[in-house]
Amino acid sequence: MIELTCTDEKGNPVFGYVELVEPDGTIDFGQTDDHGVVRGYGRYRTATIKPMDGHWNVLVGPLDDVERAEVVCPTLERNHALNWWRRLLCPDCDGTGRGAGVRVGVIDIPFQPGEGMMHIDCYDVDGDRLNTSELAYHSHGYRVCKTISERGTASHRKGLAREAELIFVDISDDATKSTWDFDKIGPAIELLVDEFSVDVINISGGSYAANNEEWKEISEFLGEYIGDAFNKGVVIFAAVGNSAVNGVALPAGMETVMGVGAVGLCGVAPSATLMGAYERMASDAEGATGALPTGAKIFHYLDSGQGSGLNLVGPGIGVFMEMDGGVLAEYEGTSYACPAVAATVAGALAEATGNQQERINERHKLASELIRSICVDLGMDRARQGWGLPILKQASIKGE
């Protein structure tokens, strides 16, 4: 058994969720009580504290033979935490017209649209409009769509391509409703391409093949849908996954898909945080750190997939979002880097083409050229960064 007491710098209890990782990688989930205490009833390797009340996530460990520990979760500076990752890709992210004239498709778990999200149309893979009134509010798909298309009033409630038209397709498992049915990815792509004529598709998920035979099987199944999208000028972005060991997931690893990995900005988070821990680990890994032309230092999120199939990177650790009701939550993973990159490219595509419909036959070529032209080489190992980090305009972030 282990007991963790979670407080802020002044000793006030911190409310949040806790992930306790057993030696074999199994994760137990817990929640702090009114005193900031959480208990686990097994043996654990590490714990990640995930506050929901304005504090940074904290990685605790190793926990071998530890029975009790006190954990301090640093208080965040709200405005900076909510906006650093937006301004990393789009320094003028408060500007109007981001993504106007571009259609973005999102394939994910559905949600009940809330404030700033009512403009999003949600469909199933058959093209029938979803009844969203009984769905959960804050699904994985909700967070992805917030990144791209939220239309709130505060700067941190504005998606990076908020003027784009967003069409959402549900690929949730019919039984669980909270996990992906990977067999629906292909039909969802087909629907978005043929029925909604999207320019860009975001897929913040994927699957790892157990062997070459399975890789071939998955690639052949998805290849027909993805090939048709490519031929019709649609650019597909997919998260490479959160496993440095397993490489790049499918469909990100397919040749005509833009695979997106994750990076972080150095110096954003205090050292005694999850983001700070990953920054330190990256500094000890070969080819895992780099910099923008301004001197701002960037680090590779070491849990991100890497290698063949990774084309570019986006912010994927220390990504804070404000939910309806004012709750703050911090996320990490390529699921969040992917829509940030897709939205940035959608913004660039909109600026380059305006509302010219004649671009359709050449939009994939145009988008590919745009992606390369706006990507900043960070100086990392190519297997970790691909072409680099797409920035809509010259970054205004300065080095320390």
Summary mean pLDDT of the chain: 92
Q: Are residues 193 and 225 in the same domain?
A: yes
CATH number at residue 59: 2.60.40.10
Structural domains in the chain (count): 2
pTM of the prediction? 0.94
Q: Supply the CATH number for residue 333's domain.
A: 3.40.50.200
pLDDT number for residue 395: 38
The last residue of a domain, from among 72, 98, 126: 72
One domain for residues 20 and 119: no
Q: What sign has the CA pseudo-torsion 380, 382, 385, 391? A: positive
* φ, ψ of residue 148 in degrees (nearest 5): -85, -45
Residues 86 and 68 in one domain: no
Let me know if 368 is a catalytic residue: no
Q: Domain boundary at 72, 96, 113, which?
A: 72
Residues 44 and 60 in one domain: yes
CA–CA separation, 178 vs 101, rounded Å?
32
Let me know if residue 164 belongs to a domain. Answer: yes
**Residues 68 and 83 both lie in one domain:** no
Three-state DSSP class for residue 19? strand
In a domain, 396, yes or no: no
**Quick one: average pLDDT of 192-213?**
94
Q: Are residues 165 and 268 in the same domain?
A: yes
Hey, is 35 helix, strand or coil? coil
Q: For residue 329, is it within any domain?
A: yes
Decide if 399 is inside a domain. no
* Domain co-membership, 63 together with 121: no
Within this chain, do residues 154 and 20 fall inside the same structural domain, yes or no?
no
Whether 400 is in a domain gets the answer no
Quick check: 341 and 260 in contact, CB under 8 A? Answer: yes
Same domain flag for 59 and 193: no
Q: Please tell me which residue in 140, 156, 300, 364 is annotated as part of the active site.
A: 140
Could you tell me the pLDDT band of residue 354, with boundaries at 50, 70 and 90? low
Range of the domain at 12: 2-72
pLDDT tier at 364, thresholds 50, 70, 90 = confident
Task: Tell me whether residue 108 is one of the annotated catalytic residues.
Answer: yes
More confident of the two residues 354 and 199? 199
Looking at residue 396, what is its pLDDT? 39
Active site residue 140: yes
Which one of 199, 304, 335, 364 is the catalytic residue? 335
Phi, psi (deg, nearest 5) at residue 107:
-115, 115
In a domain, 132, yes or no: yes
Give 96-112 pLDDT, tens digit per residue: 568 899 999 999 999 99
Domain end residue (candidates: 72, 97, 124): 72
The one catalytic residue in 108, 124, 170, 303 is: 108
The yes-or-no verdict on residue 248 having pLDDT over 90 is yes
Q: How far apart are CA 3 and CA 184, in angstroms?
A: 42
Average pLDDT over residues 122-150: 95
For 218, the token pair is: 């998955």
Indicate if 144 and 196 belong to the same structural domain: yes
Domain shared by 217 and 95, yes or no: yes
Say how many CA atoms lie within 13 Å of 175 toward its Cβ: 1
How much helix, strand and coil, in percent to the nearest 5, is found in the chain?
30, 25, 45
Q: Are residues 41 and 171 in the same domain?
A: no
